[in-house]
Amino acid sequence: MPTSSSHYFKETIKGAERRGIDADLLLRDVGLTRREVFDPAWRGDVTLLARLVQLVWYALDDEHMGFLARPAKPGIFALMTHTLIAEQSVEQALRKGVLFYNLTQHESMEMALSKTPTTVRLEIRFLEPDLDPTHYFLEFWATIWYRLVGWLAGGVPPLREATFSYPRPAHYAHELAYIFRCPHIFDSTATTLVFDREFLQKPIVRDRAELKRFLSLAPLGFMTVPEDEFSTARQVRAALLAGHALPLNFPPLPEVARQLTMTEQTMRRRLRDESTSYRAIKENIRRDIAVHRLLSTSMAVERIGELVGYREARAFTRAFKQWTGDSPTAYRDRLAKQFRTPDSEA
């Protein structure tokens, strides 16, 4: 099961705290502590994050988790999905969903769709943005709609771009890159997702029985990168992590393809259809390990680079900047030293 950054756990409980809920009790109910979720080096199982979100929903009686001007009783999102499951295309379903929220939640948010011959742009605006000062719920809400579109179509929606109406977040922008796999534009006039319109013409491949099962696990289905439940990307990542040892030495693509009983060409094509590649999956693993080591140990940057497969420190620094926007040293100084002092070489 994939993991989520401590940032998302921490922000999940903030809305509840503002409404007078004891966040420590919520954390204990899912087996977590405040020390963990406020540690930038820590990552938690996504199932724990989903359970925490559920607890906040029901503690506040609000699917908006206290981040919007008016609460939304638990069940309203499920009701919306039942109204659109019979639509002929994903675009028609998306339009009906946006209309539903504009009619029922107009005191809290505005959603809009605009289109060109090749794209459909979904815009989201909260009417009292000060209630969501870190934009956590705005990103959560955009992720839910992205994931819903993919689930209805049975595939990963290709995005042309994602725009954000605020500056680039220094400490977790790299997380967004794994949620919305497309160019990101910050300091934009609006927060939007720009879909490929051809993809939205796909028919809905789900039925009401599947919808019932999907909703029974909510919000777990919305907590992960929108990939198919049995996607090739997940299989490849699992295969690479199964033989995990440091220093990293990934097998060549043909070897992994044989392990997954598919041809090299099939594996490349399936990964491409899922908007990823073998190289991107390897970089994802390298980045996760490197960030963890930087923030949880005092290990030398050069040694961390070696452990994740870079013989030269310069090459590791260049790759790390591509992942996070910072050099490894700057990243450690800005985050790790702000919250904790690494005290272990392990």
How far apart (Å, rounded) are the C-alpha atoms in residues 161 and 181? 8
**What is the Cα 334 distance to its own chain's centre?**
23
Closest CA to 114 of 197, 37, 236: 197
Percent of the chain with pLDDT over 90: 53
Query: How far is residue 337's CA from residue 299's CA, in Å, rounded to a whole number?
Result: 14
Instruction: Indicate where the chain has its CATH 1.10.10.60 domain(s).
Output: 232-339
Question: What global pTM score does this model have?
Answer: 0.71
CB contact at 8 A, 54 and 63: no
Q: What tens digit of pLDDT does each residue of 292-326 get?
A: 788 768 899 999 999 999 999 999 999 998 887 78
> In sequence order, what are the residues at sequence separation of 6 or more whose Cβ sits closer than 8 angstroms to the Cβ of residue 58?
74
Asked if the model's pLDDT at residue 341 lies above 60, the reply is no
CB 93 within 8 A of CB 154: no
Tens of pLDDT, residues 70-99: 999 999 999 999 999 999 999 999 999 999
3-state secondary structure of 250: coil
User: What is the model's pLDDT at position 47?
Assistant: 79
Measure the CA–CA gap between 293 and 254, rounded to whole angstroms.
Answer: 30
Q: Which residues contact 181 (CB under 8 A, 6 or more apart)?
A: 156, 159, 225, 275, 276
Instruction: List beta partners, residue 3.
Output: 45
Contact between residue 69 and residue 128 where contact means Cβ atoms under 8 Å apart:
yes
* Confidence class for position 225, pLDDT limits 50, 70, 90: low
Q: What is the domain class of 232-339 according to CATH?
A: mainly alpha
Round to whole Å and give the CA distance between 49 and 36.
13
pLDDT score, position 305: 95
Condensed to tens digits (0 to 9), the pLDDT of residues 191-203 reads 999 999 999 999 9
Residue type, 118: T
Asked if 35 and 23 touch (Cβ cutoff 8 Å), the reply is no
Residue 335, pLDDT score? 62
Smallest CA-to-CA distance from 220 within 14, 30, 10, 15 is with 30
Predicted local confidence at residue 145, as pLDDT: 96
Report the pLDDT averaged over residues 328-345: 60
